[in-house]
Amino acid sequence: MSEKLEQFVREVEAALAGPSDEARILEHVRRAMGELVAADDWLAPEMAVPHPQFYQQYLLHRDSQARFSVVSFVWGPGQQTPVHDHTVWGVIGMLRGSEVAQSYLRTDQGMQAEGPPQHLHAGQVALVSPTVGDIHRVSNAHHDRVSISIHVYGADIGNRRRHVFDLATGAAKEFVSGYANVRGAVL
Ligand code: FE
């Protein structure tokens, strides 16, 4: 593991060692993430490989007690997620390229866009959680190149049961994302 990633993992551990106040944890981790994505010079090439069809989520580190996980999220040109939630806190740092996130609210009339789309550029950091807003759709802002963001979540996110939402009806469907580089995700 690169020294920068190791340093980041130590910072998240330090954040979790304090009181379990989400706002405090998010602020600590947001600062550490800002430092991690300040320079694009540490991600292992095998954790940066796009797939021609699907966005990829590579596990970079899983806490031994599964309190948190760190992934690289690799976007091929034009790729996007479905509308989804996380069910835990998450901090997203843009390492390479840029992405666009649209937040949604679940209503009786289906999913309603909440606010304008947010652009995240290299070096910038964004937050998600059931408290600060947990439902969104994310896209590679570029149609001609790869973008990569680094995510940390307050759980083993690849093995977490969460939801995708039908845009028109708001119907929720359970999903488990897994990791592109880990076989047979254990539930
Ligand atoms: Fe997300």
For 69-115, write each residue's pLDDT tens digit. 999 999 999 999 999 999 999 999 999 999 999 999 999 889 999 99
Cα(111)–Cα(143) distance, integer angstroms: 25
| Cα-to-centroid distance, 69 and ligand 1 (Å) | 14
Query: Which residues face 74 on adjacent strands?
Result: 56, 148
| Cα-to-centroid distance, 161 and ligand 1 (Å) | 13
| Cα-to-centroid distance, 82 and ligand 1 (Å) | 9
Reported as a single tens digit per residue, the pLDDT across 140-152 is: 999 999 999 999 9
| Cα-to-centroid distance, 30 and ligand 1 (Å) | 16
| Cα-to-centroid distance, 148 and ligand 1 (Å) | 13
| Cα-to-centroid distance, 65 and ligand 1 (Å) | 22
CB 67 within 8 A of CB 11: no
Q: Is pLDDT larger for residue 18 or for residue 93?
A: 93
| Cα-to-centroid distance, 20 and ligand 1 (Å) | 22
**Burial class of residue 109, CB neighbours in 10 A (0-12, 13-18, 19+):** exposed
Domains and CATH numbers, the chain: 3-175 (2.60.120.10)
| Cα-to-centroid distance, 183 and ligand 1 (Å) | 21
| Cα-to-centroid distance, 159 and ligand 1 (Å) | 14
Treating both helix axes as pointing N-terminal to C-terminal, what angle do 3-17 and 22-36 enclose, rounded to 10 degrees?
170
| Cα-to-centroid distance, 85 and ligand 1 (Å) | 6
Cα(26)–Cα(89) distance, integer angstroms: 8
Asked if residue 65 has pLDDT above 50, the reply is yes
Full-model pTM: 0.95
CA dihedral sign of residues 20, 21, 22, 25: negative
| Cα-to-centroid distance, 101 and ligand 1 (Å) | 8
**Burial class of residue 3, CB neighbours in 10 A (0-12, 13-18, 19+):** exposed
| Cα-to-centroid distance, 132 and ligand 1 (Å) | 13
